Structure 1
Amino acid sequence: MKRNVILSVIDQGGLSAFNFSVNVILIRVLTPENYGLYSLLFALGLTATSIQNALINTPLSVRWSRSNYIEKIKLESSLSLVNTFFLIIVFILSLLLSSYLSEDNTLTVAIALYITSVPAREFIKSRFFSKVLVQQVINLDVIFVLLSALLIFLSYFLYGTVNLISALMSIAVAGYTSAFYGKASLKMKVDGQIRTNDLLKEYVTIWQESRWSLVGVVTTELQNRGYIFIVSLFFGNATLALLQAGRVIYGPLNLLTAAWGKVSTPYLSGLFFNSQLRAFQKYLLIAGSGFILFNLIFGIILYTAWPYLEPLIYGGKYSDIAIVVFLWAVVTVLIQVRSTGSVGVQAMNCFKPLAFATIYGSLVSGIVLLSVCLINQPIWAIFSLLSGEMIALFYIVIVIKKYINEQSDEKLIKGENS
């Protein structure tokens, strides 16, 4: 297990370094308005993936470890079908949105392809993660990173610069290529003999749980990325670019948390449902403490190197970037600790309580964000995330304690009866 976690973190570290490099390049070469648009599209891709996680990827991870071979075939076949419908819907909605954002037909297509490529690749990775085939995930991500870098370099070599369209198309083509490679590498193929109606019936049982996960995802997105759309709408893409430019530095840290969660969800689910409660709690505690320590070390390094990093990354384009970077440092720690707890609750199959945690968090976050708009101080929009994460984390801790106590009581009763 430790080896898989380490490999997953290394993989996400490389992927994070690539995303960070792309963002730094785009910050330097694009206008603040165009970089703000790219930040908006990047957020939309992540939002699509979060919804996919609720409907498809998380049910796959949670159910896989406790399913037999036949059940696994039905599960994977059903979720593959649902994912196909999901990608079609994402592409259509992306086309409609991109036609609203731009009158350039080429940019419209590039936006739709880019947004859809994110969940297309993520589903294949999720299938590998559920089977604990971390090396295959690494292979897929290496193809994605190398091909993206090659296409971006070719764009620069041919045209002397990298514009928004070439960046989006390069990443999209690399995403689809790696996804097709991953699908071809999967050893367990979906069962084509099972009728579509039977697969949809199979998903109905999954939906009873994933609907609450979907509610949680929607409210989490409102809490974590709602400010992106509000700031863009009320203050413009240039102001959004300032906020997102400050967050870029911490992007790799959040991706590392996501990598840990993908590997740990099936493992934690097995611990909880086998009543290994002490190991379950210890694993979560070590992970949360590790993320806090890692952020502290990262913050010290960032503070020390800031006089050299600021001109290198931002080139003097954003005057208030230092305070924005500091605020994101605090928010990032809270997001990672809350995410650790969320993974624990998902592993316990308690999606409804998790949904309420994010509902309460998003309500508080929305109130703070509304206040920011009223006082016309867009930089303080970051406080909407800070407040929402604190509320959600508090509720999640209560949920974990409650369900561990209930599981412990059940174990004690079974022991007495036997």
Structure 2
Amino acid sequence: MTDYKNKFANMMSLFRKYSSLGKLLSISLTNQFIASGTNFALGIYLVRVLTPQEFGMYGIGSAISLFLSGIGNALFLTQMVVRTPDKKQEDKIPYAARMFVSLSMFSSLLLMVGLILLIVGWRLDYGIGNYESYVCAVVAAAVSYLTKDFFIRHAYNQRQEHIALFINTILAILMSVLLILSHMFQVKINAVIALWIYSLSHAMTAVVAIIIAKLPVKRVSINGIKKDLKELLNGGAYSVLAHIIITVRSQAHTIILPFLLGAVGVAEVNAGRIMISPVAMILPALTQLILPRLSAARASKLDGGRNEGVRYSAMLAVCVAVYSIIILIFYKQAHDILLGDRYNNLNGVVMAWCIYSLFSAYKSGIEMLIIASKKFKEQVVVNLIGMVVSIVLVYIMSKSYGAAGSIAALGISEVVVILTMMSFRSSEIRTN
């Protein structure tokens, strides 16, 4: 009788565990659906109202802003996520406050650099004066996105997924309001206006997030910030370097295509990417949910969380594979719904994005384990190899096969990164 009671108790314990995880996953998926869905809807709207030239310029500006915000992400946000589990419970909130103050200093520096570039461009007559609004919008987009994203990461770090959901819901509402107002007042949308709508909606959302979080920033000391920055730079320098390398590797098409095919070539690639975007909504949600748990597994499990990393990789890859099969079967219907009558003959581009996304999804679980294990130097080496492969192949394959060739080249670089990561992991296992 006692055995049956123990078995029943174990079953109930497992049920509660998986029910709790299922609830968190549903909140996280809803959260990401709103966050990515907002950007997805914005992309569909812009691909229809902007000319290919303007849509390409918007894509280039978005890529630059994400690169700039990614530096702050690598230096502060990712470091905060992987280092918070090591902090004492009573220091976790003050630590987040110190990270926010440090991030604000970085954002101010970013704005100053943007202003200096504008002044230098005007003085030396490099023609940048013709793009002052574009440059300002790109920098503003980077800072506003980074600030908003800090509070999303903070909410996940505190296991307050519902707060992250609320913040992203506010963003969706504000962006929708700005788009509706621009339509009501018959504002002619171009790349600059689109970037400003993106920036303003994120900035206003960040203000709401600051009010909600109530971080004890007034109690932050300079000595505390100096201590944290010293700790961050130990792994943060490699993390920033890894981000720069990863961005160059993953955005090689955005860097090279304007010189070979112009902004219109970038527009075709981004239009094709919209077709694969729905499944991409799921991946960041799972990443936000998984990374803090991988960090905890790294500290508590004998295998350092390796098994979890492999399982997550397989799960992400299966999600992408199922979606890719569906989108390729119903390509024409999906194209008409998402892109309308523009950007025809994107079959090859969409197929290339499907293959790239599959490899990228599988890579994500392994890469998250490297980040959770704080092996930032290893991350740099792996992605440096992938970056060289990506740049060379994107240039060669873009010249031969156009936009589709550039994305196929990115897919090959993902395979190289996966194999290199697995090689590092195997060497580590043999050493241990």
What TM-score comes out, normalization by structure 1 length? 0.89
Structure 2 distance, partners of 1:21, 1:149, is: 9
Structure 2 distance, partners of 1:405, 1:270, is: 23
Asked if 1:269 is matched to 2:289, the reply is no
Structure 2 distance, partners of 1:79, 1:252, is: 32
Deviations 1:32-52 (A, max 9, x none): 000001111121222223222
What's the counterpart of residue 254 of structure 2?
A: 228
User: How big is the shift at 1:222?
Assistant: 0.9
What's the counterpart of residue 79 of structure 1?
A: 99
Alignment CA distance shift 1:85-1:226 (3 Å): farther
Alignment CA distance shift 1:193-1:385 (3 Å): closer
Asked if 1:330 is matched to 2:355, the reply is yes
User: How big is the shift at 1:4?
Assistant: 2.4
For residue 45 of structure 1, what is the amino acid of its counterpart? S
Alignment CA distance shift 1:377-1:309 (3 Å): closer
Stretches of structure 2 lacking an aligned partner (at least 5 in a row)? 1-20, 122-126
Asked if 1:248 is matched to 2:274, the reply is yes
What's the counterpart of residue 169 of structure 1?
A: 196
Asked if 1:343 is matched to 2:343, the reply is no
Asked if 1:120 is matched to 2:140, the reply is no
3-state DSSP of counterpart to 1:180: helix
**Which range moved further: 57-66 or 292-301?**
292-301
Residues 9 and 259 in structure 1, CA contact (< 8 A), matched pair in contact too: yes
Q: Equivalent residues in 2 for 1:32-47 (5 A)?
A: 32-47=52-67
The counterpart of 2:286, out of the listed 257, 260, 267, is 260
Asked if 1:211 is matched to 2:237, the reply is yes
Stretches of structure 1 lacking an aligned partner (at least 5 in a row)? 410-418
Structure 2 distance, partners of 1:71, 1:126, is: 17
Deviations 1:345-384 (A, max 9, x none): 1111211111111111111112212323665844311133
User: How big is the shift at 1:152?
Assistant: 0.2
What's the counterpart of residue 310 of structure 1?
A: 335
What's the counterpart of residue 162 of structure 2?
A: 135
What's the counterpart of residue 414 of structure 1?
A: none
Structure 2 distance, partners of 1:133, 1:101, is: 44
Alignment CA distance shift 1:310-1:251 (3 Å): closer
Alignment CA distance shift 1:75-1:403 (3 Å): farther
What's the counterpart of residue 76 of structure 2?
A: 56
Residues 102 and 108 in structure 1, CA contact (< 8 A), matched pair in contact too: no
Structure 1 distance, partners of 2:331, 2:93, is: 51
For residue 203 of structure 1, what is the amino acid of its counterpart? L
Structure 1 distance, partners of 2:165, 2:187, is: 32
User: How big is the shift at 1:58?
Assistant: 1.0
Structure 2 distance, partners of 1:207, 1:285, is: 29
Asked if 1:184 is matched to 2:204, the reply is no
Deviations 1:70-122 (A, max 9, x none): 54356324422321122123334445479766726555543332232211211
Structure 2 distance, partners of 1:348, 1:257, is: 20
Deviations 1:326-345 (A, max 9, x none): 11100011111112211111
Structure 2 distance, partners of 1:97, 1:404, is: 51
The counterpart of 1:354, out of the listed 359, 379, 384, is 379
Structure 2 distance, partners of 1:385, 1:92, is: 34
For residue 152 of structure 1, what is the amino acid of its counterpart? L
The counterpart of 1:5, out of the listed 7, 16, 25, is 25
Structure 2 distance, partners of 1:97, 1:400, is: 45
**Which range moved further: 368-377 or 234-243?**
368-377
What's the counterpart of residue 415 of structure 2?
A: 390
Structure 2 distance, partners of 1:254, 1:94, is: 31
Structure 2 distance, partners of 1:399, 1:380, is: 29
